[in-house]
Structure 1
Amino acid sequence: MHYSKRVLMIAAASASAILLAACGSNGSSSSNGGSSSKTVVTMIQPGSGIQNETKLMAAANKELQKKYPNIELKIKQIDWGDYGQKFNVMVTSGESYDLAFSQDYAANASKGVFQDLTSLIKDNAKEAYDAIDPAYWQGVKVDGKIYGFPTNANVFSQQAFVFNPTFTKKYGIDVSKVDSYQSLEPVLKEFHEKNPNVVAFPLVKGARISLKAMSYPLGNNFPFAIDASGKSTKVVNQYDTKEMMDDMKTLHKYYQAGYLPKDAATSSTTYNAADDTWFVQNQTVGPFDYGNNALKTAANGKDIIVNKFTDAYKQTSDAQMAVYVMSKTSNHKKEAMQVMNAINTDKKLENILVWGVEGQQWKFTNKDNGQIETLKGYDATKALGAWLTGNNRLLYTKSNITPDDIATRDSSIKSAKDSATLGFNPTTDDVKTELTNVSNVMSKYADILNTGTADPTTTVKQMDKELKAAGWDKVQKSLQKQYDAFLASK
């Protein structure tokens, strides 16, 4: 069950939004403190309003202009619910923009709709290039070229079972040995017997079973997967693997026992971290979440228990989590790359953008260690999300993050392996019809299989029959040919 990574990362510093306006032009003064003598570089991103916007952008531009005196950064935001559609309109209409938070990065890049940034980065942002984990640059390459500037945050992520401490403490339930769907059984049984009125394991529509070491070249909504470890190079249907079948059978057993919601396959219920409406959830965690600290923040201080159960691989999907692209018609290509260079190398600028104005949104508690606390003026709902802003290694941390936490973060990033598929961005132009047909089949089966609602023994056989008729074999052959070529080119 792969919940959105955005949920966890936003807990540290949330995104914000204002209406989209014309971008990519030299500008007169604006709410961001603009000046007609500066080249205005516009960055478009999803969000819901910038805290203390005028003062924040004035402080940010003052710092930016220490390095690039003739550039002014202007941030424009679009509400999360509208961003995808408006971004697609920008791309398809050929609208000019300097920097924009990308949607469907690899697919759009392969179509040639974005500016090739390879030489622009080399000439204008080499300092930032060198500061960002190399896995990011490998992950954003499409046909050997870089079309997007990644945000340096969780370069790898893992799936984890997270437990509500309200109930583990109340009932004395030991969850320390849980490291798989199967080992959940005794704690689910114990909790359900003691509190049958609270959902033990709240799966909902869209949940996906997480396998220990698997990559999904088209995303995990499609039945195409590759072993991340590299032990196998075959493109397979993950639903046909023994691991997946065992997990589906286990969840079906839990569903029949009443541990899962009866309407799991169709439910859109939200189970907030702070609420006592759940016992265990499946969540995504990464090194910049600092153990359970991101979840703890989301849960209003509850000491959420985190048990990771998938392997740590740097995946293409993580590298492309927050990527900024440029239109081919931008008038400020050089200046836009200089802005990205500054955001990813200037500690003061990065922290202004994410935390706000010192003394108004935050203050130091230990300046030598880069530790801070937020003030009454800080509004997490109107802060620029750290996960989509610059180089997270530059960020100050709250006082609850210790030097040991940071050391653990860095060592975990260093020890995480590159997925065998890192940088594999297949094209699908030759199988569009088949992929549409496959998607239609999966819309019937994915939710009922991943929430334990259906018996996988019979359901997968029927699904595979329909997938074959939909053209699964043709898509697999196309992906396999491209993956073999990708491996040969390494």
Structure 2
Amino acid sequence: MKKLTVLLCTVLTASSVLTACGSNDNSTVNNAPNSGGNNAKSDKPFHITMVAEQSTQIPKEDNEIEMKLQEYTGVDFSMQWIPGSAYDDKINVMIASQDLPEIMTIKYSPNYISYMKEGLFWEVGPLIKDYPNLAEVSPLHYENVSVDGKVYGVPLFRSLARSGVTFRKDWLEKLNLELPVTLDDWYNVVKAMGEGDPDGNGKKDSYGIMLDKIFADGPSSVVNLLAVSQGAPNQWGVEDGKVVPSFYSQTYFDVLTLFRKLYSENLINQDFAVIDDSSAGTTWDAGKLGIKVGTAGIAVALQGTVAKTVPTAVVDVEPLQGADGKRAPAELGNNGLLVFPKSSVKTEEDLKKILAFLNKLLDEPMATLLQYGIEGKHWKNTDGNATVIDEDLFRLEGKPYRDRLLAINPGGKSIPKDMSDLERKTLDITVDNLNYAVGNPAVSLSSETYSQKGAELNIIMLDAQVKYIMGNIDEEGWKKEIANWEKAGGLKIIEEYTEQYNLIKE
């Protein structure tokens, strides 16, 4: 706090604009709902100022979108924007000075988590059930931003389970194959696409699948997506009461063995350990790649790019599944969260008014406003669907609010977008994936050892996977690499995660 005070003194003049952010004119009387969105009559509207990170040009004050938000919710609402490059520093200054707005957008990161633990923000977990729109989303949205089992804010919602397989349907039909399900299927399909001349040029110059240097990094990596589809944990799992990494599982190892076999037969690109995803993108665009495993939403863009080279290409997308059916790794499901400082939101009654305001933002009129902008200006209604009129204007005037005010509506209450069959299918897959989402039990756990050594330990295991796929080590060598990871701090992380996980579960 001493450091923050010094920082405050040095930047106070430059950041004087932030004074308005802390405006907490709670002398105004609420006419916003106490819970669930029911208005209570009063003399003046309840005042809410929100601080958000600026990613584009700042919208004009008293613009149409803010005016419509105020009109619908009955709240005197305004946004204060801070450039992204200075956001964290200025938020720390505001916290040090206790000059805070009613709503702040923050990241789910160690610095802000420490503020939650210190009690700077209201806990909202027990209250969410009283707000239908906020409560109807998957519990994973809230679990993924919890701290010691408690929820201190409302997530900036994003899709939780976006995985899918985009593929050249015309290639599968030509080769008389089905989309792969088991790992044996994956081998057979990738082999056929690499050796069966699916593009018909008489050359062996195509790939069924390609890897890049982040092939095993994160929930959306190819290895994690395939492993989860076959039954492995999503990055971390619980086994015999312990929180353990997914690479402990046999299924994860089987996926690596698949890629080892494909690599040894030159059926995947030999430079996978050093190339970026853009290289695989170039190969796809050239009509030389059959399958991309990633987010379902990329299918529309991939259809457009390959069609420039191969106008007859037929692109399709399906959910990932294994022998036991569909399984999709859950992602964070947020782009940070909205928190409510106790220094500016003085009472639980005021907190409930703010939650009611956010709840109303997920009603159909507000969800549509935030998703598409102003009807007749940014979009038009075409047979009950939203058709974009001016994408550039919406990006300037509407997108800042969509990105900072609950973003994507998980409840789907906005009117549907006018879209192609393929785009509609990607959306349906993303929604349906929620029924098969596999959570990561460690996503909201903290480990001092991981904070200190996580990057180093991740490199140990990434290098081990590269060496195994390339054939530089065998199964015994793989087990030795895991032992090295354990000695370097991995066992300590398991211990810390397990202790915290069991405490929360109690």
Q: What TM-score do the two structures reach when normalised by structure 1?
A: 0.70
1:287-326 correspondence runs (5 A): 295-297=299-301, 299-300=303-304, 303-309=315-321, 317-320=331-334, 322-326=336-340
Question: Which structure has the larger Rg over C-alpha atoms?
Answer: 2
Determine the structure 1 residue equivalent to 2:107: 103
Q: Which amino acid aligns with 2:299?
A: L
Determine the structure 2 residue equivalent to 1:439: 455
CA distance in 1, matches of 2:128, 2:261: 58
CA distance in 1, matches of 2:180, 2:329: 25
Matched, 1:60 2:65: yes
1:40-439 correspondence runs (5 A): 41-45=49-53, 47-49=55-57, 53-54=59-60, 58-74=63-79, 76=81, 86-90=86-90, 92-95=92-95, 96=100, 98-105=102-109, 108-111=112-115, 112=117, 115-119=120-124, 122=127, 126-155=131-160, 157=161, 159-165=163-169, 168=171, 172-193=174-195, 194=197, 196-208=204-216, 209-210=223-224, 211-212=227-228, 213-215=231-233, 220=235, 225-227=236-238, 233-270=241-278, 271-272=280-281, 275-276=285-286, 278-285=289-296, 295-297=299-301, 299-300=303-304, 303-309=315-321, 317-320=331-334, 322-327=336-341, 329-330=343-344, 334=351, 337-344=355-362, 346-367=363-384, 371-377=385-391, 383=399, 389=407, 391-392=409-410, 393-400=412-419, 412=432, 415-416=435-436, 419=439, 425-429=444-448, 431=449, 436-437=452-453, 439=455
Partner of 2:338: helix, strand, or coil? Answer: strand
- 1:396 shift after superposition: 1.9
User: Can you list the C-alpha shifts for 1:291-329, whole angstroms capped at 9, x where unaligned?
Assistant: xxx632564397333241367679774345553334555
**Contact residue 147 and residue 444 of structure 2 kept, 8 A:** yes
Partner of 1:149: helix, strand, or coil? Answer: strand
Alignment length (residue pairs): 424
Q: Which amino acid aligns with 1:176?
A: E
- 1:348 shift after superposition: 1.8
Partner of 2:21: helix, strand, or coil? Answer: coil
Judged with a 3 Å threshold, the aligned counterparts in structure 2 of structure 1 residues 250 and 43 are, in CA distance, closer, same or farther, namely same
User: Can you list the C-alpha shifts for 1:432-465, whole angstroms capped at 9, x where unaligned?
Assistant: 5xx5345314314415616934555254234223
Q: Any gaps of 5 or more consecutive residues in structure 2?
A: 1-15, 25-44, 198-202, 217-222, 308-314
Partner of 1:161: helix, strand, or coil? Answer: strand
Partner of 2:318: helix, strand, or coil? Answer: strand
**Contact residue 21 and residue 80 of structure 2 kept, 8 A:** no
Q: Any gaps of 5 or more consecutive residues in structure 1?
A: 1-19, 28-36
Determine the structure 2 residue equivalent to 1:15: none
User: Can you list the C-alpha shifts for 1:115-158, whole angstroms capped at 9, x where unaligned?
Assistant: 43335983998354334344433443323432120245534x16
CA distance in 2, matches of 1:142, 1:466: 30
- 1:60 shift after superposition: 2.1
CA distance in 2, matches of 1:362, 1:378: 11
**Contact residue 315 and residue 418 of structure 1 kept, 8 A:** yes
**Contact residue 355 and residue 361 of structure 1 kept, 8 A:** yes
Higher relative contact order (CA 8 A, sep 6+): 1
Tell me the percent identity.
12
User: Can you list the C-alpha shifts for 1:223-242, whole angstroms capped at 9, x where unaligned?
Assistant: xx214xxx754323432321
State the superposition RMSD in angstroms.
Answer: 4.4
Judged with a 3 Å threshold, the aligned counterparts in structure 2 of structure 1 residues 135 and 158 are, in CA distance, closer, same or farther, namely same
CA distance in 2, matches of 1:374, 1:135: 31
CA distance in 2, matches of 1:244, 1:103: 30
Q: Which amino acid aligns with 1:89?
A: D
Q: What TM-score do the two structures reach when normalised by structure 2?
A: 0.68
Partner of 2:465: helix, strand, or coil? Answer: helix
CA distance in 2, matches of 1:99, 1:124: 20
Determine the structure 2 residue equivalent to 1:10: none
**Contact residue 199 and residue 278 of structure 1 kept, 8 A:** yes
**Contact residue 351 and residue 395 of structure 1 kept, 8 A:** yes
- 1:24 shift after superposition: 1.9
CA distance in 1, matches of 2:53, 2:328: 24
CA distance in 2, matches of 1:480, 1:242: 21
Q: Which amino acid aligns with 1:234?
A: K
